[in-house]
Amino acid sequence: MTRNDSKTLDGFLRSFKSLEPMWSKNGQAWLQPVRRAAIARLADIGFPTVHDEDWRFTNLAPSSRPLFQPAVGAAASVDAGSLAPLRSPGATAPVWSS
């Protein structure tokens, strides 16, 4: 997989675009700016490759094949408080906090 694998990248971008309206209707509108920023960054730089120093030992090819799948049930319910334990020590406040 390379940064220029446009078929895979285009698939991710199309899948995101089709699922975005559903996510914002499930009470997760607060997360949309983060999702949009992440997908914009992916569209801008593409997937990392083994030629990127931080990713040199990681083959992302297997994880880049599946497209977005919507979460169902309890997994579909995410709020800002449930993400707090996942923050890195010393991280600044998330962009979605008020």
State residue 91's pLDDT score. Answer: 67
Q: Tokens standing for 17?
A: 């675009």
State residue 35's pLDDT score. Answer: 87
For residues 6 and 77, give the distance between their C-alpha atoms in angstroms, rounded to a whole number: 31
Determine the average pLDDT of the residues in 75-97.
68
50 touches 58 (CB < 8 A)? yes
Question: What residues does each domain of the chain span?
Answer: 1-65
State residue 37's pLDDT score. Answer: 92
Lowest mean pLDDT among 20-24, 62-66, 72-76: 72-76
Q: pLDDT digits over 19-45, tens only?
A: 888 777 766 778 888 889 999 998 998
